Chain A
Amino acid sequence: SSELTQDPAVSVALGQTVRITCQGDSLRSYFASWYQQKPGQAPILVIYDKHNRPSGIPDRFSGSLSGNTASLTITGAQAEDEADYYCNSRDTSGKLLVFGGGTKLTVL
């Protein structure tokens, strides 16, 4: 098994760029997916297979991977991007899944 580590909270000024990171040993072998969750709602997938966006997700959301760290970047953050963001991936065995602890994004 393995863990994914995220910063608990990040803030960004409206219209600026913010990067949310996720660290874990399994990311040296597997890609991360990213989810956005707003209060009282189910999570939605925003990035998968490291950098792909599902249809309907704005192109200001992008993903990358370097070593054991995956990143979600929001370029030109909007007020509606304020939410909790979670990364997930397979664990080091490849058979199980794991979530990061989540990052609360505040848009100032």
Chain B
Amino acid sequence: QVQLQESGPGLVKPSETLSLTCSVSGASVSSRDYYWGWVRQPPGKGLQWIGNIYYSGNTYYNPSLRGRLTISVDTSKNHFSLKLSSVTAADTAVYYCARLNGGYDLPLDYWGQGTLVTVSS
């Protein structure tokens, strides 16, 4: 049974860096069959793709976040992480981590439960 679990601070101050980790069980982040990604959802709004990482370390970022975003993978701990710098209130959202099946359209077949991150002083 594949499970993903987000962890990290629920409150971040403006201009600081948001850091989240996604712990994976039941699957390996080293697998060539999957990508690993992040999606966020501001309160009352739709889903926004943040970015993906492959086991090799290749990353793919939403252009609107590029420059502030870093996604990394730690194969020894079987987890991957997100760092978003210079946050503002607009970055307040529920952040989900997900596994992307390496098929033609990269479906997100397993999701974490999500974690709410609020940006506020």
Contacts and interface: CB of A to CB of B under 8 A. Distances in A.
B107 A42 contact: no
Interface in B4-63: 37, 39, 46-49, 52, 60-63
B10 to A, nearest CB: 16
Report the interface size class on chain A: 20 to 34
B60 A88 contact: no
Interface in A12-32: 30-32
Contacts of B46: 84, 86, 99-102
Contact of A30 (B37, B39, B104, B109): B104
A42 B47 contact: no
Interface of A: 1, 30-33, 35, 37, 42-45, 48-50, 54, 84, 86, 88-90, 95-102
22 contacts: A30-B104, A33-B108, A42-B114, A43-B39, A45-B107, A45-B108, A48-B103, A48-B107, A48-B109, A49-B107, A54-B109, A84-B46, A86-B47, A88-B49, A96-B49, A97-B49, A97-B52, A97-B106, A98-B49, A99-B47, A99-B49, A102-B46
